[in-house]
Amino acid sequence: MEVITRFAPSPTGHLHLGHAFSALTAWHRARQAGGRFLLRLEDIDPTRCRPDFATAILEDLAWLGLDWDGEVRVQSAHLPEYRAVLDGLATRGLVYPCFCTRADIAREVAGSAAAPHAPDGAPLYPGTCRRLSADERATRIAAGQPFALRLDMARALAAVPGELTVFEEAEGERRCDPARFGDAVLARKDAPASYHLCVTHDDALQGVTLVTRGEDLRLATDLHRLLQALMGWPVPCYAHHHLLTDAAGRRLAKRDRAATLRELRADGVSPAQVRARAGFPDQM
């Protein structure tokens, strides 16, 4: 099987050394196997993504010495595709509109001393809007109330009987537990589709055979595996790599103002030096 990898950053800021490590990991895996390396811009969030950041990503990767195969896939140019997936799930009764705000959810779970939490640390959605009647949902939508679309986890699991597994390079075949995410959001009130839906759809559409990404996304694979089963999409292999950290042991992140590739370049750091810092001695 041809090895097809991808790097899929969100243009919400400039790339830092952690991004370079992730991009280099995917690029090397594809090139060493004579395969293909794809670039995708996950710019679904209109409140945080900016065109200038998207342009900067392309410039920084080229400066780093990376090339990619085919055109860059820009998610915001493919919204009808994600809408079609959501419509299909809705037709099967697997998603429902959720009108709750974060404050609503916080109030509802506050009364539970042992409220379960999702892998990202957020309280599991208690299913408030899942219990609404079809008439009440229609009335609220007609009144213009904003809503998200949530996956009905119980119905989704019932639609794919049998155990869900995925192949992780570091551990082999492992069992997935998507129920830990509860009724996950597949489309937000301020975005037409969620990361989970878009990334899984695009990996299938683009024929990605090996997903290389950070260890922080390992558990998200369980939810992605469920979406693959529901939609009949192929299942790639996964290789979750370690995360680069700063001197204090914190993972490099945009929100913590990790040094960007642009700042490193302005300081006179060469692409070869950046690749070495990321753990890839110059092999370009």
How does DSSP assign 176-241, residue by residue? --GGGG-S-EEEBTTBSS-HHHHHHHHHHHTT--EEEEEGGGTTHHHHHHHHHHHHT----EEEEE
Given this model, what pLDDT does residue 107 score?
79
pLDDT at 279: 83
More confidently predicted of 61 and 46: 61
Per the listing, tokens 């945080």 go with 48
Q: Which residues of 54-81 are buried (b: 16+ CB within 10 A; e: fewer)?
A: bebbeebbeebbbebeeeebebbebeee
What is the tens place of the pLDDT at every residue in 81-116?
A: 999 999 999 999 999 999 998 888 877 777 665 667
Does residue 190 have a pLDDT over 90? no
* pTM for the structure as a whole: 0.92
Please write the tens of the pLDDT for every residue from 112-148.
656 677 777 677 898 999 999 999 999 999 999 999 9
Output 246 or 127, whichever has higher pLDDT.
127
Q: Considering Cα of 168, then 173, then 174, then 175, what sign does the dihedral take? A: positive
Residue type, 22: S
